[in-house]
């Protein structure tokens, strides 16, 4: 292009613009052409600022010709835009408008937390065995957390290093067994309840321990309950949960103040033994402390770690994954 405006330069601008419009493959490229030619600093504006090489007679002709080029280019742009399905530009601001052909932004969808998911599954299975869901407070008094459960005043489980004590005689409950006491206080037997919920202990956090985790407590108080009923209940539960004949259940002799006899609940699955919780026959002292006649009523109880059950179900190696809120982990359960 010569330094001063000339008719041949106008022709060149028009030709180039029409070729560029013809070959542009999308709305963005098209818009770039528009800015380059018709924009404030575009080639057409530029050339009209440089009319020094024209005679006074030529100038209006040149202006008219420039207008023609502008309209032709504008028409070609509109036609091409329609080709892409984008709205034609019909405002003076130069805003091409929203491109309705672009894909939308999908909102991120959350998913249920694995502990919630497994907890719901556990509740469903126990409900099919006749258990009702009960609830109790996370801030408890010492009576429901210890005394009512036959845990003596000098027992190590009451030690300040084992519990989150609050003011007065309150603490964050260290076990869901508290709900056993609360239910038996308020409801006469026969009873068949489960109580899922959070428990709190000042444990050092590692792959298997956390300061907060979930337990699912179970309690049955009926006439003539035996250790056989306890074992068959837990066995049926794990069989239904895991749907796998290679699973084994072992009740290993143990001690809890609120059950006699007591046992640890061990699960063998995928080649290894894992501890899932504790269980036993409700100690007569516990029944007496809530005014239930132990000569007539017998019961069994169990407490399962929901994180433990979840880790077994999904082969999760570390309890810390549950509270890290890493969506790469959580998304796998949607």
Q: Binding residues for ligand DAH, per CB under 6 A?
A: 175, 177, 217, 256, 259, 262, 277-280, 301-303
Distance (Å, rounded) from C-alpha 302 to C-alpha 146? 16
**10 or 279: CB nearest ligand DAH:** 279
Q: Nearest distance from residue 281's CB to ligand DAH, in Å? A: 8
User: Kindly report the CA angle at 207 between 246 and 249, in degrees rounded to 5?
Assistant: 25
Whether the link from the prior residue into 190 is cis, omega within 30° of 0, is yes
**30 or 279: CB nearest ligand DAH:** 279
By DSSP bridging, strand 191-200 and strand 132-133 are parallel
Q: Nearest distance from residue 314's CB to ligand DAH, in Å? A: 22
What tokens appear for 182 in the block? 């609360």
What tokens appear for 114 in the block? 């694995």
Q: Which of 192, 271, 274, 199 is nearest to 233 (CA)?
A: 192
**96 or 299: CB nearest ligand DAH:** 299
Distance (Å, rounded) from C-alpha 167 to C-alpha 171? 8
What tokens appear for 48 in the block? 């009209």
**145-to-163, 171, 178, 305 alpha-carbon distances in Å:** 11, 8, 5, 17
Q: Nearest distance from residue 103's CB to ligand DAH, in Å? A: 51
Q: Nearest distance from residue 256's CB to ligand DAH, in Å? A: 4
**237 or 302: CB nearest ligand DAH:** 302
Q: Nearest distance from residue 218's CB to ligand DAH, in Å? A: 7
Q: Nearest distance from residue 279's CB to ligand DAH, in Å? A: 5
**9 or 307: CB nearest ligand DAH:** 307
Q: Nearest distance from residue 259's CB to ligand DAH, in Å? A: 4
Q: Nearest distance from residue 149's CB to ligand DAH, in Å? A: 8
**6 or 163: CB nearest ligand DAH:** 163
**300 or 321: CB nearest ligand DAH:** 300
Distance (Å, rounded) from C-alpha 59 to C-alpha 50? 11
**83 or 209: CB nearest ligand DAH:** 209
Long-range contacts of 158-167 (CB under 8 A, 24+ apart): 161/202, 162/201, 162/202, 163/200, 163/201, 163/202, 164/200, 164/201, 164/202, 166/139
By DSSP bridging, strand 259-269 and strand 298-305 are unpaired
């Amino acid at each position: 292009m010569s330094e001063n405006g000339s008719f041949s330069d106008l022709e060149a601008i028009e030709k180039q613009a029409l070729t560029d419009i013809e070959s542009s493959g999308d709305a963005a490229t098209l818009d770039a052409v528009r800015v380059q030619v018709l924009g404030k600093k575009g080639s057409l504006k530029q050339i009209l600022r440089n009319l020094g090489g024209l005679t006074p007679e030529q100038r209006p002709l040149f202006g008219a010709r420039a207008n023609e080029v502008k309209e032709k280019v504008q028409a070609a742009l509109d036609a091409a835009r329609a080709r892409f399905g984008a709205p034609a530009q019909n405002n003076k601001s130069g805003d091409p408008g929203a491109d309705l052909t672009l894909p939308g932004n999908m909102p991120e969808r959350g998913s249920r937390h694995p502990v919630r998911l497994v907890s719901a599954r556990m509740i469903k299975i126990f409900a099919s065995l006749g258990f009702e869901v009960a609830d109790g407070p996370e801030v408890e008094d010492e009576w429901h957390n210890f005394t009512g459960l036959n845990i003596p005043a000098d027992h190590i489980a009451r030690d300040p290093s084992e519990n989150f004590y609050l003011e007065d005689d309150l603490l964050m409950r260290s076990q869901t067994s508290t709900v056993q006491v609360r239910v038996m206080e308020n409801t006469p037997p026969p009873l068949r309840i489960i109580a899922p919920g959070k428990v709190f202990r000042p444990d050092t956090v590692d792959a298997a321990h956390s300061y907060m985790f979930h337990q699912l407590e179970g309690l049955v108080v009926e006439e003539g309950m035996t250790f056989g009923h306890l074992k068959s209940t837990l066995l049926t539960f794990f069989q239904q949960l895991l749907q796998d004949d290679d699973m084994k259940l072992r009740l290993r002799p143990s001690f809890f103040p609120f059950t006699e006899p007591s046992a640890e609940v061990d699960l063998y699955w995928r080649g290894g033994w894992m501890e899932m919780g504790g269980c036993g026959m409700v100690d007569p002292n516990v029944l007496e402390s809530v005014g239930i006649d132990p000569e007539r009523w017998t019961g069994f109880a169990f407490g399962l770690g929901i994180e433990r059950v979840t880790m077994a179900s999904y082969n999760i190696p570390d309890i810390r994954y549950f509270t890290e809120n890493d969506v790469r982990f959580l998304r796998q359960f949607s």
